[in-house]
Amino acid sequence: MNNNKDNGLSKYLVIGMIIGLFVGVVFSIIMRNNTFFAISGIGFGISFGILIAVIIWGLKKS
């Protein structure tokens, strides 16, 4: 990333994915009786974390 002068988005994405992963794990534990939600909870958490990170980055950028 030497040519990228703005690494702010990548920092937000990494933090968002880590927080989203924890949210997904908690969601999977809560919904453990439903197999579909228990398996897809981690993917949902990572996607949710990326979405929140991009929204926060966009609001701070503007």
Reading the chain (62 residues) residue by residue, the pLDDT tens digits are 566 666 778 888 898 889 988 888 888 888 888 888 778 888 888 898 999 999 998 998 88
Q: List the domain boundaries for the chain.
A: 8-61
State the pTM of this model. Answer: 0.73
Nearest to 30 by CA among 45, 19, 18, 17: 45
Nearest to 21 by CA among 53, 62, 60, 61: 53
Burial of 17 (0-12, 13-18, 19+ CB in 10 A): middle
